[in-house]
Amino acid sequence: MSSTRALALITGANQGIGLATARQLASTGKYHVLVTARSLDNAEAAVRELQTTAADPTALAPIAIDVTDDDSIAAAVESVSSQFGHLDILINNAGIGQPEPPQVSIRKAFRQVFEVNVFGAMAVTDAFLPLLRASSYHDRRIVNVTSGLGLISMAGKEGYAFNANAWYAPDYRSSKAALNMVTAAMSVKLKQEGIAVVAAAPGMCRTKFTGGQGRKDASDGARVVVRAATEGAGEEVNGTYVSDEPHDGW
């Protein structure tokens, strides 16, 4: 399927920041947005909601992806390949903040969080790389949605509202720190292919993920993700950390 619109896929796009990101991209009329969720039913429900505000309701498609399931990822790649033959922008948004159920061993807790936030994001990226390489789009990008809690420079910073005294969460913090390092390494590796890899930290937004806590709406956080995915020249934003929050570096 050919289109003049850039083809963007967002994991975990049926709620929260992922849904808000899909809404903002779809409202511009410049993107064909692949809306993913762990189940096709959830992805289809999100598409129906997004179609009410999209510039072109036909420029949205539901895709099922469970980022912890390699077979699910492979099926999603096959679906995108057969329908479009390429991918222009990949946004790794799916993530969890704490293990389920909460009463688990420390080893299992870290494994559950890393399985989604790190291994899931990288498995999706690796699987979709051939389709990104097949794209002729002038500004191919991979955006990894991270968090200020993953910044080592800020974990012990006195007076910082989200330092480790205020928000301990070593499993979540370390998963996002790992995602940051993978982002930095991939940005070096893929630079020669003209694929920019960017980290986007939307900040703490009032979503189901945060239990409704936060200073920002999901739409505010999504604007950071959209900026990382679409603004500036790819070679200039490659390997950068995009955020509205104050920080002292990674």
Angle at CA 12, nearest 5°, toward 240 and 207?
85
Active site (catalytic) residues: 172, 176
- Please give the Cα distance from 45 to 35 (Å, whole number): 10
How big is the chain by its Cα radius of gyration, in Å? 17
- Please give the Cα distance from 92 to 88 (Å, whole number): 13
Residues 92-126: b if buried by 16+ CB within 10 A, e if exposed: bbbbbbebeeeeeeeeebbebbbbbbbebbbbbbe
What are the tokens at 159? 């007076």
Q: Which residue has the tokens 């993913």?
A: 36
- HSE toward the beta carbon, residue 210, CA cutoff 13 A: 18
How many residues appear in the chain?
250
- Please give the Cα distance from 250 to 247 (Å, whole number): 8
80, 63 contact by CB (below 8 A): yes
